Amino acid sequence: MKITLKDGSVKEYEGSRSVLDIAKDISEGLARAATSAKVNGDIVDLRREISEDCELELLTFDSDEGKGAFWHTTSHIMAQAVKRLYPETKLAIGPSIDNGFYYDLDRETPFVAEDLEKIEAEMKKIVKEDLSIERFTKSREDAIAYFKENGEPYKVELVEDLPEGEEISFYRQGEFVDLCAGPHLMSTKNVKAVKLTSLAGAYWRGSEKNKMLTRIYGISYPKKAELEEYLNRLEEAKKRDHRKLGRELGLFMMCDEGPGFPFFLPKGMVLKNTLMEYWRELHKRNGYVEISTPIILSRHLWENSGHWDHYKDNMYTTVIDEEDYAVKPMNCPGGMLVYKSEPRSYKDLPLRAGEIGLVHRHEKSGALHGLFRVRCFNQDDAHIFMMPEQIRDEIKGVARLIDEVYSLFGFKYHVELSTRPEDSMGSDEDWEMATEGLRGALDDLGLDYVVNEGDGAFYGPKIDIQAKNVYGKEDTMITIQLDCAIAENFDMYYIDQNGDKVRPYIIHRTSMGCYERTLAWLIEKYAGKFPTWLCPEQVRILPISDKYEAYAGEVLKELKANGIDATMDNRSEKIGFKIREARLDKLPYMLVVGQQEEADHTVSVRSRFAGDEGVKPLAQFIEDICREIRTKEIRKEVPQEENK
């Protein structure tokens, strides 16, 4: 048989071989490092036997899939440790996730933080035992009987939901056996470093109607040094947590009276409005018009758009004049009505219309997380109505606009293309044209992208812009969707060169996405130290004593007259105290004024970037900071010890 490796080389063998044997034949070092493999694109164990020609890729911890096998194995080690220490515990599910693993557990006495240390210690014992991990299968009936006999009701339910006649795989390590599709490591010994990080509540199968279980999260690595590096990053990330900084900097708050509905405080509103002003400037420059559509619209509209059937569980509804209405979860259908408000010609296209709309979505309480996951938010949707031959150029224009935004904020991102799902609207021809339009635009721009088969929206394929947050977790920040169906549903058309009615193609897209989520990202990226153009308080004036408040007031007036967000600290405190507080508030600039500054109409400049910048004429400082704000310059900071 012929085995084609990732680099294109071919290995030939007589008879069947395990993936591990092939790995050893290639390199003993690679075999030791491998956690799993891809055989013809399917992720499998190293113990998988190969008996025919195939494409083989060996996966190590350096790849996402390789990490998945490593962390999935660690979740089983954790469950085994729990069963040894607390045998009455019932097991639910224990997958790998983006950053480690978790296991959902049911115990009459819920787990507490103090239990994690004991479980972790037992896990380390299991690792040292070097338990061989074995895969075996049972029939559906035997699997149900096995878990009933062992008192595992959640496993019984999982097996009962599997199709009749399906062979069900199990993994055994020592005395521990678990239901699992794999893949897993060959032995427990490879998990050299592990840390259980947190506890949380989780409803069984994500439904609030089911029992609340305890979810234990953890992380593991092949080397202790890698774990220590990760934990250090985690500590730094906690310092940047937008919920913590949001409170400390007075940006936003959450209240029990409105879970998932953020309250923006004055400084937070300055920050939010600055982003919106940038959005407006950017879109005007790129040929967009701005619109605004109502928050509440009739059920008929949402049926037309398909949201009533596909998204109703996430929508808030109400009754007005004995008719059903819904609070909009997205801006798109309102934008369609704007397009239909007057006749359109091919000469009007492409028509680019943008909206910063307030939308509401019903998120489960367990999913809420600061500004990252909320129930109401501002979404900067835009819609481009166009002819088929304009698709590729318009997609490229959108990609360039988004790249400008991401480059400004310093976000590193990658691109994913999602294709037609099973539950979709529209014809095969429309889907083919739309998908190839997106693919062609990405190819023209020379962008690398991953294809997610079947992960598109129900009305069209999409491009997702993915980026990692400070915790290393990947989120979708921007979505570009090409709609194949909604023009038909809304009877939208334009008059072409021949006088015929033709359906437009429609791009749905954002550039900053959910403003609340973008703000959370920016707070954490900058650790609250925003660039001057974005900062809600750009300058604080610090009079040395109350004798110089009058001059400080003149400085404040001139700064505000030039559009600079400035305040004055006129408290009866020592100047050193005022400077320290301004630093804690992460301000870009402090202007100290006293007798000499008043006499010379100057200011003594201290900055977050270079510490003491010396004395400058007030007019010169205003010119410098206005240029910094106008150009959106990102000044680099000196190390803290130098910032005296």
Q: Enumerate the active-site residues.
A: 332, 361, 379, 381, 383, 462, 508
Mind giving me the DSSP string for 187-226? BGGG--EEEEEEEEEEEGGG-TTS-EEEEEEEEEESSHHH
**From CA 416, how far away is CA 401, in angstroms rounded?**
17
**Residue corresponding to tokens 């009455």:** 88
Q: Which two tokens stand for residue 321?
A: 């004049």
Residue (of 477, 476, 480) closest to 439 by Cα position: 480
Q: Which two tokens stand for residue 189?
A: 């010994």
Do residues 482 and 461 touch, judged by C-beta distance below 8 A?
yes
**Residue corresponding to tokens 């109401």:** 376
Burial class (CB in 10 A: 0-12, 13-18, 19+), 457: buried
Residue (of 531, 562, 550, 553) closest to 626 by Cα position: 562
Element (H, E) at 352: strand 351-360
Helix (H/G/I), strand (E/B), else coil: 176: strand
The CA-CA-CA angle for residues 203, 209, 211, to 5°, reads 45
Q: What are the helix (H) ranges across 56-112?
A: 64-85
Do residues 620 and 591 touch, judged by C-beta distance below 8 A?
no
Residue 216 CB contacts under 8 Å (≥ 6 apart), including other chains: 78, 82, 102, 103, 105, 111, 116, 119, 196, 198, 199
- Per-residue burial over 381-419, b if 16 or more Cβ lie within 10 Å, else e, is bbbbbbbeebbbebbbbbbebbeebbeebebebebbbbb
**From CA 95, how far away is CA 249, in angstroms rounded?**
37
Residue 367 is classified by DSSP as G
Helix (H/G/I), strand (E/B), else coil: 72: helix
Q: Which two tokens stand for residue 457?
A: 């929206």
Residue 595 CB contacts under 8 Å (≥ 6 apart), including other chains: 544, 547, 548
